[in-house]
Protein backbone atom coordinates (compact mmCIF):
# COMPACT_ATOMS: atom_id res chain seq x y z
CA UNK A 1 0.00 0.00 0.00
CA UNK A 2 1.38 3.40 -0.81
CA UNK A 3 1.60 6.29 1.60
CA UNK A 4 -0.81 9.22 1.35
CA UNK A 5 0.43 12.16 -0.66
CA UNK A 6 1.45 15.07 1.58
CA UNK A 7 1.70 17.59 -1.29
CA UNK A 8 -1.16 17.24 -3.80
CA UNK A 9 0.27 16.46 -7.21
CA UNK A 10 3.75 15.60 -5.92
CA UNK A 11 3.74 12.17 -7.56
CA UNK A 12 2.75 13.71 -10.89
CA UNK A 13 5.42 16.41 -10.62
CA UNK A 14 8.04 13.78 -9.85
CA UNK A 15 6.91 11.65 -12.78
CA UNK A 16 6.92 14.61 -15.15
CA UNK A 17 10.26 16.05 -14.07
CA UNK A 18 12.19 12.88 -13.20
CA UNK A 19 10.38 10.07 -15.01
CA UNK A 20 12.56 9.90 -18.10
CA UNK A 21 15.85 10.72 -16.34
CA UNK A 22 16.05 9.01 -12.95
CA UNK A 23 15.78 5.28 -12.32
CA UNK A 24 14.28 3.60 -9.28
CA UNK A 25 16.88 1.30 -7.71
CA UNK A 26 15.98 -2.36 -8.08
CA UNK A 27 16.08 -4.78 -5.16
CA UNK A 28 16.10 -8.29 -6.60
CA UNK A 29 17.97 -11.16 -4.92
CA UNK A 30 20.92 -12.38 -7.03
CA UNK A 31 20.42 -9.53 -9.52
CA UNK A 32 21.30 -6.50 -7.41
CA UNK A 33 23.34 -6.08 -4.23
CA UNK A 34 21.09 -6.43 -1.19
CA UNK A 35 22.84 -3.44 0.36
CA UNK A 36 23.79 -0.87 -2.32
CA UNK A 37 21.54 -2.13 -5.21
CA UNK A 38 24.33 -2.26 -7.81
CA UNK A 39 23.88 -5.07 -10.34
CA UNK A 40 25.82 -8.20 -9.38
CA UNK A 41 26.77 -11.52 -10.83
CA UNK A 42 24.30 -14.26 -10.06
CA UNK A 43 24.76 -16.59 -7.02
CA UNK A 44 25.85 -13.70 -4.80
CA UNK A 45 23.69 -11.55 -2.57
CA UNK A 46 26.11 -8.65 -2.12
CA UNK A 47 28.47 -6.86 -4.47
CA UNK A 48 32.19 -7.43 -3.95
CA UNK A 49 32.73 -4.19 -2.07
CA UNK A 50 29.74 -4.48 0.30
CA UNK A 51 30.73 -8.09 0.99
CA UNK A 52 34.27 -6.99 1.84
CA UNK A 53 32.95 -4.26 4.14
CA UNK A 54 30.65 -6.71 5.94
CA UNK A 55 33.48 -9.22 6.37
CA UNK A 56 35.78 -6.48 7.61
CA UNK A 57 33.17 -5.32 10.13
CA UNK A 58 32.84 -8.86 11.49
CA UNK A 59 36.60 -9.43 11.93
CA UNK A 60 38.45 -8.91 15.19
CA UNK A 61 39.20 -5.21 15.72
CA UNK A 62 42.58 -3.91 14.60
CA UNK A 63 44.38 -3.01 11.38
CA UNK A 64 41.29 -1.37 10.01
CA UNK A 65 39.13 -4.42 10.70
CA UNK A 66 36.22 -4.74 13.07
CA UNK A 67 34.94 -1.32 11.93
CA UNK A 68 31.15 -1.19 12.28
CA UNK A 69 29.21 -0.29 9.12
CA UNK A 70 25.67 0.49 8.04
CA UNK A 71 23.83 -2.50 6.56
CA UNK A 72 20.85 -0.51 5.35
CA UNK A 73 21.65 1.61 2.29
CA UNK A 74 18.82 3.53 0.61
CA UNK A 75 19.72 4.94 -2.82
CA UNK A 76 16.98 7.11 -4.32
CA UNK A 77 18.03 6.64 -7.97
CA UNK A 78 20.69 5.04 -10.12
CA UNK A 79 23.13 7.44 -11.76
CA UNK A 80 24.01 5.75 -15.03
CA UNK A 81 27.35 6.58 -16.62
CA UNK A 82 26.97 8.64 -19.74
CA UNK A 83 23.34 9.48 -19.02
CA UNK A 84 21.66 12.57 -17.64
CA UNK A 85 21.15 10.98 -14.22
CA UNK A 86 24.92 10.87 -13.71
CA UNK A 87 25.53 14.29 -15.26
CA UNK A 88 23.00 15.73 -12.79
CA UNK A 89 24.94 14.37 -9.82
CA UNK A 90 27.99 16.37 -10.94
CA UNK A 91 26.28 19.46 -12.28
CA UNK A 92 24.04 20.13 -9.29
CA UNK A 93 27.10 21.01 -7.21
CA UNK A 94 29.17 22.81 -9.84
CA UNK A 95 30.52 26.13 -8.54
CA UNK A 96 28.03 28.87 -9.44
CA UNK A 97 26.16 31.70 -7.72
CA UNK A 98 23.30 30.36 -5.59
CA UNK A 99 20.49 32.18 -7.46
CA UNK A 100 21.75 30.53 -10.66
CA UNK A 101 21.90 27.12 -8.96
CA UNK A 102 18.24 27.37 -8.00
CA UNK A 103 17.39 27.75 -11.70
CA UNK A 104 19.63 24.88 -12.79
CA UNK A 105 17.56 21.84 -13.89
CA UNK A 106 20.16 19.40 -12.47
CA UNK A 107 19.90 21.01 -9.04
CA UNK A 108 16.11 21.10 -9.25
CA UNK A 109 15.99 17.38 -10.08
CA UNK A 110 18.31 16.43 -7.21
CA UNK A 111 16.25 18.58 -4.86
CA UNK A 112 13.03 16.98 -6.11
CA UNK A 113 14.47 13.51 -5.53
CA UNK A 114 15.24 14.43 -1.93
CA UNK A 115 11.88 16.14 -1.44
CA UNK A 116 9.95 13.17 -2.81
CA UNK A 117 11.84 10.87 -0.49
CA UNK A 118 11.36 13.15 2.52
CA UNK A 119 7.63 13.57 1.94
CA UNK A 120 6.68 10.05 0.96
CA UNK A 121 9.30 7.52 2.11
CA UNK A 122 11.38 8.92 5.00
CA UNK A 123 8.98 7.34 7.50
CA UNK A 124 9.37 3.98 5.72
CA UNK A 125 12.82 3.71 7.30
CA UNK A 126 11.17 3.86 10.74
CA UNK A 127 8.90 0.95 9.84
CA UNK A 128 11.79 -1.39 9.07
CA UNK A 129 13.98 -0.24 11.97
CA UNK A 130 14.27 -1.04 15.66
CA UNK A 131 13.88 2.64 16.56
CA UNK A 132 12.77 5.65 14.51
CA UNK A 133 15.30 7.95 12.88
CA UNK A 134 16.12 10.86 15.17
CA UNK A 135 19.34 12.33 13.72
CA UNK A 136 20.82 13.05 10.29
CA UNK A 137 24.34 13.89 9.27
CA UNK A 138 25.31 15.06 5.80
CA UNK A 139 28.55 13.46 4.62
CA UNK A 140 30.76 16.51 4.50
CA UNK A 141 32.68 17.55 1.45
CA UNK A 142 36.29 16.51 1.70
CA UNK A 143 37.47 18.74 -1.10
CA UNK A 144 37.65 21.85 1.07
CA UNK A 145 35.43 23.83 -1.30
CA UNK A 146 34.45 27.28 -0.08
CA UNK A 147 30.91 28.12 0.96
CA UNK A 148 27.96 25.95 1.90
CA UNK A 149 27.95 22.66 0.02
CA UNK A 150 24.86 22.30 -2.20
CA UNK A 151 24.18 18.91 -0.59
CA UNK A 152 23.52 20.75 2.68
CA UNK A 153 20.94 22.92 0.92
CA UNK A 154 19.32 19.78 -0.50
CA UNK A 155 19.29 18.22 2.98
CA UNK A 156 17.14 21.10 4.24
CA UNK A 157 14.10 19.28 2.83
CA UNK A 158 14.68 16.22 5.04
CA UNK A 159 12.31 15.80 8.01
CA UNK A 160 12.52 18.58 10.58
CA UNK A 161 12.47 16.13 13.49
CA UNK A 162 15.72 14.57 12.31
CA UNK A 163 18.18 16.46 14.47
CA UNK A 164 21.12 17.79 12.44
CA UNK A 165 24.48 16.34 13.55
CA UNK A 166 27.73 17.72 12.23
CA UNK A 167 30.54 15.47 11.03
CA UNK A 168 33.83 16.93 9.89
CA UNK A 169 36.21 15.31 7.46
CA UNK A 170 39.68 14.82 8.93
CA UNK A 171 42.13 16.58 6.64
CA UNK A 172 45.35 15.19 5.25
CA UNK A 173 44.12 11.68 4.43
CA UNK A 174 45.15 10.62 0.90
CA UNK A 175 42.25 9.95 -1.49
CA UNK A 176 43.25 6.28 -1.90
CA UNK A 177 42.83 5.77 1.85
CA UNK A 178 39.54 7.65 1.82
CA UNK A 179 38.01 4.78 -0.08
CA UNK A 180 38.63 2.46 2.86
CA UNK A 181 36.20 2.30 5.75
CA UNK A 182 37.76 4.01 8.77
CA UNK A 183 35.98 5.69 11.68
CA UNK A 184 38.96 8.04 11.95
CA UNK A 185 38.19 9.70 8.62
CA UNK A 186 35.48 11.81 10.27
CA UNK A 187 35.08 13.60 13.57
CA UNK A 188 31.83 14.16 15.36
CA UNK A 189 31.48 17.66 16.72
CA UNK A 190 32.11 17.28 20.50
CA UNK A 191 28.86 18.95 21.51
CA UNK A 192 26.75 16.57 19.47
CA UNK A 193 25.31 13.42 20.92
CA UNK A 194 24.31 10.42 18.87
CA UNK A 195 24.39 7.78 21.65
CA UNK A 196 21.27 5.64 21.47
CA UNK A 197 19.99 7.42 18.35
CA UNK A 198 19.13 6.11 14.90
CA UNK A 199 21.25 8.26 12.60
CA UNK A 200 20.76 8.75 8.86
CA UNK A 201 23.96 9.44 6.93
CA UNK A 202 22.98 11.54 3.91
CA UNK A 203 25.28 11.29 0.88
CA UNK A 204 24.95 12.45 -2.71
CA UNK A 205 26.57 9.75 -4.84
CA UNK A 206 27.58 6.24 -3.80
CA UNK A 207 30.41 4.89 -5.90
CA UNK A 208 32.09 2.41 -3.56
CA UNK A 209 30.60 3.73 -0.36
CA UNK A 210 33.86 4.35 1.49
CA UNK A 211 33.01 7.88 2.57
CA UNK A 212 29.48 7.11 3.71
CA UNK A 213 30.50 3.90 5.50
CA UNK A 214 33.34 5.72 7.26
CA UNK A 215 30.83 8.33 8.43
CA UNK A 216 28.55 5.49 9.58
CA UNK A 217 31.48 3.95 11.47
CA UNK A 218 32.17 7.26 13.21
CA UNK A 219 28.63 7.63 14.54
CA UNK A 220 28.36 3.93 15.46
CA UNK A 221 31.60 4.12 17.42
CA UNK A 222 30.20 7.23 19.12
CA UNK A 223 27.34 5.14 20.44
CA UNK A 224 24.65 5.45 17.75
CA UNK A 225 22.23 2.56 18.13
CA UNK A 226 21.40 2.29 14.42
CA UNK A 227 22.56 3.83 11.16
CA UNK A 228 20.92 4.04 7.74
CA UNK A 229 22.70 5.53 4.74
CA UNK A 230 20.48 7.50 2.37
CA UNK A 231 22.33 8.26 -0.84
CA UNK A 232 20.68 10.28 -3.58
CA UNK A 233 22.30 8.21 -6.32
CA UNK A 234 23.98 4.84 -6.72
CA UNK A 235 26.41 5.24 -9.62
CA UNK A 236 26.35 2.35 -12.09
CA UNK A 237 28.62 1.74 -15.03
CA UNK A 238 26.37 0.68 -17.84
CA UNK A 239 29.12 0.10 -20.35
CA UNK A 240 30.36 -3.10 -18.75
CA UNK A 241 28.85 -6.40 -19.70
CA UNK A 242 27.85 -8.67 -16.86
CA UNK A 243 24.76 -10.83 -16.34
CA UNK A 244 23.52 -8.59 -13.55
CA UNK A 245 23.99 -5.40 -15.52
CA UNK A 246 22.30 -7.00 -18.50
CA UNK A 247 19.33 -7.90 -16.31
CA UNK A 248 19.25 -4.38 -14.90
CA UNK A 249 19.42 -2.77 -18.30
CA UNK A 250 16.63 -5.01 -19.54
CA UNK A 251 14.50 -3.83 -16.66
CA UNK A 252 15.28 -0.15 -17.09
CA UNK A 253 13.77 1.04 -20.38
CA UNK A 254 10.27 0.07 -19.36
CA UNK A 255 10.34 1.85 -16.04
CA UNK A 256 10.07 5.57 -15.52
CA UNK A 257 10.93 7.06 -12.17
CA UNK A 258 8.05 6.94 -9.74
CA UNK A 259 7.42 7.60 -6.06
CA UNK A 260 5.17 4.52 -6.10
CA UNK A 261 8.24 2.32 -5.67
CA UNK A 262 9.64 2.57 -2.15
CA UNK A 263 13.41 3.08 -2.11
CA UNK A 264 13.59 1.35 1.26
CA UNK A 265 12.02 -1.91 0.10
CA UNK A 266 12.24 -1.77 -3.71
CA UNK A 267 8.50 -2.55 -3.76
CA UNK A 268 5.52 -0.99 -2.06
CA UNK A 269 6.02 0.82 1.23
CA UNK A 270 6.41 -1.31 4.38
Residue 68 CB partners (closer than 8 Å, separation 6+) = 57, 183, 216, 217, 220, 221
Compute the least distance from the CB of residue 70 to Zn ion, in Å.
12
Tell me the helices (H) and strands (E) count for the chain, helix number first: 10, 7
Stretch that binds Zn ion, among 41-49, 144-152, 187-195, 219-227 (CB under 5 A): 41-49
Compute the least distance from the CB of residue 231 to Zn ion, in Å.
11
Q: Does 35 bind Zn ion (CB under 5 A)?
A: yes
Compute the least distance from the CB of residue 26 to Zn ion, in Å.
13
Say how many Å lie between the first and final Cα of the chain, rounded: 8
- Residue window 152-171: x/- pattern of binding to Zn ion, with contact defined by CB under 5 A: --------------------
Q: Give the C-alpha separation, 92 to 99, whole Å.
A: 13
Compute the least distance from the CB of residue 9 to Zn ion, in Å.
18
Q: Does 236 bind Zn ion (CB under 5 A)?
A: no
CB nearer Zn ion, residue 113 or residue 188: 113
Q: Does 121 bind Zn ion (CB under 5 A)?
A: yes
Q: Does 124 bind Zn ion (CB under 5 A)?
A: yes
Looking at 22, 33, 110, 165, which residue binds Zn ion (CB under 5 A)?
A: 33
Q: Give the C-alpha separation, 144 to 265, whole Å.
A: 35
Q: Under rule CB under 5 A, how many of the chain's residues touch Zn ion?
A: 9
Stretch that binds Zn ion, among 97-105, 185-193, 236-244, 256-264 (CB under 5 A): 256-264
> Which has the closest alpha carbon to 219: 155, 167, 164, 162?
167
Range 209-228, binding Zn ion (CB under 5 A): none
CB nearer Zn ion, residue 1 or residue 60: 1
Q: Does 201 bind Zn ion (CB under 5 A)?
A: no
Stretch that binds Zn ion, among 4-12, 84-92, 113-121, 239-247 (CB under 5 A): 113-121
Q: How far is CA 262 from the centre of its chain?
A: 14
Q: Give the C-alpha separation, 202 to 147, whole Å.
A: 19
Q: Does 67 bind Zn ion (CB under 5 A)?
A: no
Q: Give the C-alpha separation, 107 to 104, whole Å.
A: 5
Looking at 14, 50, 188, 194, which residue binds Zn ion (CB under 5 A)?
A: 50
The answer to whether 266 touches 26, Cβ cutoff 8 Å, is yes
Q: Give the C-alpha separation, 153 to 127, whole Å.
A: 27
Q: Does 36 bind Zn ion (CB under 5 A)?
A: yes
Stretch that binds Zn ion, among 24-32, 36-44, 186-194, 243-251 (CB under 5 A): 36-44
Q: Does 261 bind Zn ion (CB under 5 A)?
A: no
Q: Give the C-alpha separation, 74 to 229, whole Å.
A: 6
Beta bridge partners of 62: 65
Q: Where are the beta strands (DSSP E) in the chain?
A: 72-80, 133-138, 163-164, 167-169, 186-188, 198-206, 226-236
Binding residues (CB under 5 A) for Zn ion: these are 33, 35-36, 47, 50, 121, 124, 262, 269
Amino acid sequence: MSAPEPIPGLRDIVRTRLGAIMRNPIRLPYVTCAMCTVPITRQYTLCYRCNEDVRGSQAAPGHGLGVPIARRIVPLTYALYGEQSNIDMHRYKDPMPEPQRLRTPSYQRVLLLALGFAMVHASCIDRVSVRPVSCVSVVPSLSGRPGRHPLLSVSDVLPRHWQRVELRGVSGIPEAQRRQVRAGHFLLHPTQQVAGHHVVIFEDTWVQGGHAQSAAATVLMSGAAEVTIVTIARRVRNNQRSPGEEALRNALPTSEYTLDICPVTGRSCP
